Homo-oligomer: A and B are copies of this chain.
């Protein structure tokens, strides 16, 4: 049941952003507002350059430098997470509303699969405790080949995938 005052993730984000800015005497300007809009309209991962194009398409003219200056602020106030998916550009994704998740990256087709990150979170907690480390964040990525790419290969050259091995007890279920 959604709250009356906060109608959406977008408003939650805006509230966080504005509060963050106000608290340190910074300003909520049209460019920043436009960037936030574009960011929240993006359900996928994106990068600075993509955001610039999005903004242009929306009719907002914001300088590239402004984007590069604003994105870190959005990370700091918790609206965005920076995730490094490729090797070059920094990728971002919304931090609000998204359940904790991490990524599998198919190195054949580039597809990014998000998976439930609760197990990872649990492990991280255990590990941090073991090493007396105060854990704040993490980055977990699994590289490999996705299901579709495997299936597109001739059988003889398919890699062994654990889940394709025959289970000891017949519990096999083909999924879509």
Please report A residues at the B interface, Cβ cutoff 8 Å.
84, 87, 90, 104, 106-107, 113, 115, 119-120, 123-147, 150, 159-164, 175
Shortest CB–CB separation between residue A77 and chain B, in angstroms? 17
Per DSSP, chain A at the interface is mixed
Are A140 and B140 interface neighbours, CB within 8 A?
yes
Shortest CB–CB separation between residue A102 and chain B, in angstroms? 8
A146 contacts across to B, CB distance below 8 A: 132-134
Are B119 and A104 interface neighbours, CB within 8 A?
no
Are B163 and A129 interface neighbours, CB within 8 A?
yes
In angstroms, Cα B174 to Cα A132, docked, is 11
Q: Which of A106, A128, A132, A134 has the most CB of B within 10 A?
A: A134
A107 contacts across to B, CB distance below 8 A: 136
Interchain Cβ contacts under 8 Å between A and B, 25 examples? A104-B127, A106-B133, A113-B133, A119-B126, A120-B123, A125-B162, A128-B142, A128-B144, A128-B162, A129-B161, A132-B146, A132-B147, A132-B150, A133-B145, A133-B146, A133-B147, A133-B161, A134-B146, A134-B159, A135-B142, A135-B143, A136-B143, A136-B145, A138-B142, A140-B141
Contacts A120-B123, A123-B120, A123-B123 given; does A144 touch B133 at CB 8 Å: yes
A142 contacts across to B, CB distance below 8 A: 124, 127-128, 133, 135, 137-138
Contacts A139-B141, A142-B128, A162-B128 given; does A104 touch B87 at CB 8 Å: no
Known: A129-B162, A132-B146, A132-B175. 8 other contacts (CB 8 A): A104-B133, A104-B135, A131-B147, A134-B159, A134-B161, A135-B143, A139-B139, A139-B141
